Amino acid sequence: MAESPAEEFIHYIAPKGEYIAFVDDEDYIAKGLEWKLFTARSVKRELLYKSGTYQGKVKLAGYEQYGNGLDTVVVEFENGRLSCIHPSYLKEMQSSNFGKELLSGPVSDITAISSDNDKESAAPITKASDSLTEEPKKAKTKSKKATATPKLDLPVEKVHFTATVKEFTAKMNHFTGEEDEVILLSNVKVTTEPELSIGDGWCGYSKTLKKAELEEGDEIEFDGKVVDKKYNKEIRYKINNPSKLGKRVEA
C-alpha cells in the first residue's frame, strides 16, 4: 500500500526479531490496563498516533521486553507497517491536547523515537516532548497566562445539571495508592437559576451512576454540587454526589 505524504514523515522503529504477540483477548486487555492505554470499562481496539503533521489510527500488535520489566509496545499502522513506541508516550498521544504546540515544529522532534543504537533504553521516547527549546516553552507559558480563564462563581447549594458523558477513565487516589474510576463530562451546565455554563467536568463513577448503565455520548441530567477540584490542567471542576440521574431523550 502506497504511503500518503504525511505518512512519509513517520519515523518507524521496526521491532528487532520476533516480538511478543498477545496470547489472547484477556492478555491484550491485561497489558493495555497495565500500560494505562484504556480502562476496563472502555477497552480500545484502536489508538491514536500523533505527530506534528500526521494523525492516524494504530492497533496494538504486541510488545518487546527489556530488563527491569520495561516494555516497548509494537503498534501496527493502517498501512500494515510496524513500529516500536514506549507505552507512556503512546498514552500521551491519546490526549486531545497532545502535539498542538508542535504542529508547526519539525517532524523529527516528535516522531523520532530512537535509533537502533539507542534502543537499549526507552527513555528517549518519554522525553520526546522535551526536545523543544526553552524559548518556545516560555512563550507558551506567557500565552496561557494571557488567556487564562477566570474562575467561575460556583453555586454553594446543590443544583440541577445537564451534561454529556465524554469518557470513562481513572484517576490516581494518592490516599489509597489506587486508581478510582471516574467519568469525564462535557457541556456541563447548571440549569437551576441562575444558569451557569461549566464546560468540562468530572465526577466519581459511583454505584448510583453504574446502575444507570451510561455510555459515552449519553446526554444526562442530574442533581449535584460543583466544586473547584481539578482532574487535570484542562478539567477544573468536579461534580460531587450526583443523584436523580436520568438520560435525556431528544424530542
Count CA atoms closer than 13 A to 189's CA, side-chain side: 12
DSSP for residue 251: -
pLDDT of amino acid 66: 73
- What is the pLDDT confidence band of residue 18, given thresholds at 50, 70 and 90? confident
Task: Give the tens place of pLDDT for each residue, 163-184.
Answer: 999 999 988 776 666 778 899 9
Whether residues 203 and 237 fall in one domain: yes
Domain count, the chain: 2
Q: Is residue 31 part of a domain?
A: yes
pLDDT in tens, 100-126: 655 444 444 333 333 344 444 344 444
Q: Is residue 1 part of a domain?
A: no
Mean pLDDT of 146-152: 68
On whether both 125 and 195 belong to a single domain, the answer is no
Residue 50 lies in a domain: yes
My answer on whether 121 and 175 are in the same domain is no
Q: Which of 97, 119, 145 is the last residue of a domain?
A: 145
CA distance 152 to 145: 17
**Together in a domain, 20 and 134:** yes
The answer to whether the pTM exceeds 0.75 is no
- Residue ranges making up the domain that contains 12: 7-145
CATH number of domain containing 173: 2.40.50.140
Of 116, 145, 174, the one marking the end of a domain is 145
**How many angstroms separate the Cα of 59 from the Cα of each of 33, 52, 78, 146?**
15, 20, 8, 39
95 lies in a domain? yes
* Four-residue CA torsion sign, 51, 40, 182, 218: positive
Are 118 and 202 in a shared domain?
Answer: no
Q: Does the residue 152 lie in any domain? A: no
